[in-house]
Amino acid sequence: MEILKLGIFQLKELYKKKEVKPSEVVSLLLEEIYRRDKDIHSYLYINEKAIDQAKRVDEKIEKGEDLKELEGIPISIKDNICTKGIPTTCASKILENFIPPYDATVIERLKEKGAIIIGKTNMDEFAFGSSTENSAFGPTRNPHNLERVPGGSSGGSTASVASNLCFASLGSDTGGSIRQPSAFCGVVGIKPTYGRVSRYGLIAFASSLDQIGPITKNVKDNALLLKIISGKDKMDSTSVDIEVCDYLEFLNKDLGKLKIGIPKEYFVGGIDKEIREKIFEILKILEERGMIIEEISLPHTDYGIATYYIIATAEASSNLARFDGVKYGYRSKNYENLMEMYMKTRGEGFGEEVKRRIILGTYVLSSGYYEAYYLKAQKVRTLIKNDFEQAFKKVDIILTPTTPELPFKLGEKKDDPLKMYLSDIFTVNVNLTGLPAINIPCSFSSNKLPIGVQFISPYFKEEILLNLSYKLENELKGGDK
């Protein structure tokens, strides 16, 4: 049991010393998943074949061969990232039986380093949501308190890491879906700069916002995974050809006195009192460590949610047009002609939130309203981007709470989409600008629920995010050094 609590580097050390075999770790993990995941429901699919792969790593160790960077490390994958031969459903009935014939680029890169895919994790259907309650296959629960949500939409991934039912996970973040559930589950989750990681094989939600990123138990593991999955990919023309920093090596760099900006707009109204207090404690720690804290302003902050929900739904309505019962997935059984087949397939295959977003997205793109909504939203997006650009002329990093609230109860917001949408108030602007940001677990509330802090850096400066996070983590709990 204790073994499952280890980070990737500690596990690698045990393999090296031959203190435990990869096949033993995988069997233990599978046993634990079957025993404990009944309550949490972080997994939609468990990969039994993982054990054969682990046995091959056993043999390599036996023969004294060197292991690759992730060899024998079990990793879970959000179910909107294509895995060859392993079902990929987006937690939707419409893709219930879909088995991709190819691997996403991030999966190929993990496999090249020897990672073991242990299973596919639950999510809000098509990544639409903030609680993982929108899954067509039932919700995931927060491992810290089973009455509470794990956040979303990558709630299955963050819950699987937080409950030690894998050693790390990959999620996707369109408006906060890595950072918000990482905050709710008390794990480290990064949304890289748009273009840093290939989206090839990620089932698209909103193509101008989506990014894949690692979710881990500690910062060092996150740096390792990010290094492996980052970089130009010829299969994704929006991936950028900028050299990938050695994030691991950079962790120990002394960056001197960083200037940290605190946007005043993130501390007004609605924010939970305990979260606010804890964030101020973090500021004090950073100040004591020699950082310079400065108040800044991001004046268009309040427009973020409205802008995001126009752009994200517009892109989603277009991306989801491909699910029509012809090429893949579910097809209705009762139809008389082609049009009826499309309509019934989509009517029966999509859940409520997916339909809501397709309707909203189609509306904002319709010829009569395009200028009033979509075009306007794109202009506001530029204003939000300019706010951040101005701010980064003054400071190196921006610090905010990751979420305005603690993990809420299942059912609490499910019937009130607007309330649910507000969960992302501190994360969506980062996606609208394309900037990178990370969630670091920083504390617990009085009722023992995790609280997270978010760092945002300039474009392609993930190494600074990780470096600062590593320092904070060591300060708070010793980390995995």
CA distances from 26 to 22, 31, 289 (A): 6, 9, 40
CB of 377 to ligand GLN, least distance (A): 14
By CB under 6 A, the residues from 188 to 247 that bind ligand GLN are 205
Among 37, 79, 125, 173, binds ligand GLN (CB under 6 A): 173
Catalytic residue set: 78, 153, 177
- Would you count residue 175 as binding ligand GLN (CB under 6 A)? yes
Mark residues 422-441: x for contact with ligand GLN by CB under 6 A, - for none.
--x-----------------
CB of 424 to ligand GLN, least distance (A): 5
| Among the residue ranges 27-35, 63-71, 128-136, 284-292, the one whose residues contact ligand GLN (CB under 6 A) | 128-136
By CB under 6 A, the residues from 386 to 425 that bind ligand GLN are 424
Element (H, E) at 379: helix 376-394
By CB under 6 A, the residues from 61 to 90 that bind ligand GLN are none
**Listed residue (380, 190, 419, 356) closest to 300, CA to CA:** 380
Among 86, 161, 312, 360, binds ligand GLN (CB under 6 A): 312
CB of 478 to ligand GLN, least distance (A): 31
Q: Token digits for 125?
A: 């259907």
Among 22, 72, 139, 176, binds ligand GLN (CB under 6 A): 176
Among 88, 164, 174, 301, binds ligand GLN (CB under 6 A): 174
By the 10 Å C-beta count (0-12 exposed, 13-18 middle, 19+ buried), 418 is classed as exposed
CB closest to ligand GLN, residue no? 177
Count of residues binding ligand GLN (CB under 6 A)?
13
Provide, for the chain, the percentages of residues in helix, strand and coil under a 3-state DSSP scheme, each rounded to the nearest 5. Answer: 45, 15, 40
Which of 125, 463 has the CB closer to ligand GLN?
A: 125
Among 23, 132, 157, 177, binds ligand GLN (CB under 6 A): 177
Q: b/e for 426-440, b at 16 or more Cβ within 10 A?
A: bbbbbbbbbbbbbbb
| Among the residue ranges 4-12, 171-179, 240-248, 266-274, the one whose residues contact ligand GLN (CB under 6 A) | 171-179
For residue 96, count other CB atoms closer than 10 A to its CB.
15
386, amino acid identity: N
- Would you count residue 130 as binding ligand GLN (CB under 6 A)? yes
For residue 285, count other CB atoms closer than 10 A to its CB.
14
For residue 324, count other CB atoms closer than 10 A to its CB.
18
Element (H, E) at 294: strand 292-296
Which of 23, 42 has the CB closer to ligand GLN?
A: 42
Scan for tokens 């994958």, then name that residue. 77
CB of 165 to ligand GLN, least distance (A): 22
Distance CA 343, CA 97 (A): 19
Phi first, then psi, for residue 83 (nearest 5°) are: -125, 120
Q: Token digits for 185?
A: 């589950």
Q: What is the binding site for ligand GLN (CB under 6 A)?
A: 127-130, 153, 173-177, 205, 312, 424
